[in-house]
Amino acid sequence: MSARARHPAYARDDSAITHVSTAVYRFPTPEPEADGTFEWHATTAVAVTLEAAGLAGLGWTYSSRAAAAVVEDELQPQVLGRSALDVTDGWSAMRRAVRNVGTSGLAMQAVSAVDVAWWDLKARLLGVPLGDLLGRCRDDVPVYGSGGFTTVDDAELAEQVAGWAEAGCTAMKIKIGESRGDEPGRDLRRIRQLRRLAPEGTQLMVDANGGYTVGEAIRMGDRLDDVGVVWFEEPVPSDDTAGLTAVREALACDVAAGEYAATANDVSSLLPVVDCLQLDATRCGGYTGWLRAAALAEGAHLQVSAHCAPSAHAVVAAAVPNMRHVEWFVDHARLEPQLLDGIPEVSGGALHPVSERPGHGMTLSEGAEQWRVA
C-alpha cells in the first residue's frame, strides 16, 4: 500500500493548491535604528497565502517587497495545482525555479514564505496542529531578549532590559561594533551597562553584525571575556570563515553566525567555524530548510539558535532536539502582534507553541491592513 493510500486525507482529490496571494506590510520603527553595519527605519513583512480545499495557509518573511514579485513571477507556477500535502516536493520545485535568479537571499526568502504557508496549509488540511505534524521535543521554547541597538540611549536600553527581565528572559543581547568598529569605548560602556541592568545570573550576549576586523574582534573579545559575555555573534563578517576561526580560537565565549545562511552549502561552510549555528526559517527555506539545516548542525554536534521572527520559529524550534534558543527581537516582538492574530506568547522566558488550533495557529490580523503597501 502506498503512503498516499494510507492516510484518509491522501484520498482527497481536492488537495491541489488553487490560489497563491501575497501581501506586503511596512512597519516603521519608532525611531531610526542601527547596529554595527546597517541602519533602518522600517521592517517589511512579505506574507504569502496558499489555498486548497477552502482552507488557507499563511507564511511570511522579513524582506523587500521584491520578494512578493519573486513569489508571483517565479514560484506561483510551481505551486498552483500541486498537492498541499507534498511540501518537500514543492520545495524542490521552487528551488529549481529560482536557479537563474539566485538560490539565496531574496529568492530564498520568497521560497521560505511559501514553504511556511505550505506547511501551515498541510496541517490545516489534515486538521492537526503543526506541532503534531512536525513532532515535538519540548513544550517550552526558551527565548533571549534581543535589541540594544547602537542608536538607543541609556534610558531606552534600561527599558528594554526591564521588559526582557519581566518576561523571564535569562539571556539578553545587544548590538556592538558601532560605526563598523570605530567606537569600541562606547561598545564596552554599553556592555557594562547591560551587566549592571540585567538581573544577576543573566547570560550576556553581543552581536557585532560583522563590524570588526579580526584584530579588533579579538581585542574586544578579550574584554568581553573579562565581563563574562557568553555569546559573540558575527564578530567579523560571516562569510569570513577564516576570520571566525581565528576569533573563536582566541576567545572563551561562544562565537555564533548563520543568520544569512540560505542553502545547505552555506550551513556546511559555517559548521566548522561556529559554536552555535544561527538559522532563520524566513531566509533558509522555511520550515523545510530549517529542519534540514538543524539536522546538519546535529551531525556536527552543534546546537542551533533561531534568528529573529519568534512567532514563525516557535513551532519548528520545538521540533528540533539540538535547539538552544529563539531570538526575541524587539522589532519583531513589536510588529508581530500587529501583523498576526494567534501568535504564541512569551512568558517565563519561553514561547509556548502548544496549540489545539490546526496549522501554526496564526492568521493575518485585520489591523495589519493599515500597514499594507502592496
Residues that bind Mg ion (CB under 5 A): 207, 259
Element (H, E) at 109: helix 105-126
| Nearest distance, CB of residue 235 and Mg ion, angstroms | 11
234 within 8 A of 254, measured Cβ to Cβ = no
**Closest CB to Mg ion among 18 and 29?**
29
Q: d(Cα 312, Cα 287) in Å, to the nearest integer?
A: 9
CB of 147 to Mg ion, least distance (A): 11
Virtual CA dihedral for 302, 315, 47, 148, nearest 10 degrees? -60
Q: What is the DSSP letter of 129?
A: B
Q: E strand or H helix at 222, and its extent?
A: helix 214-227
Between residues 148 and 353, which has the closer beta carbon with respect to Mg ion? Answer: 148
Residue with Cβ nearer Mg ion (94 or 256)? 256
Q: Which residue has the cell 570588526?
A: 212
Which residue's Cβ has the minimum distance to Mg ion? Answer: 207
Question: At closest approach, how far in Å is the CB of 233 from Mg ion?
Answer: 5
* Residue 323: CB minimum distance to Mg ion, A: 17
Rounded to 5, what percent of the chain is helix, strand, coil? 45, 25, 30
Nearer to Mg ion, 115 or 207 (CB): 207
CB of 331 to Mg ion, least distance (A): 12
- Rounded Cα–Cα distance for residues 235 and 221 (Å): 8
Cβ contacts of 158 within 8 Å, gap of 6 or more = 197
Instruction: Give the residue with the Cβ less far from Mg ion, 207 or 240.
Output: 207
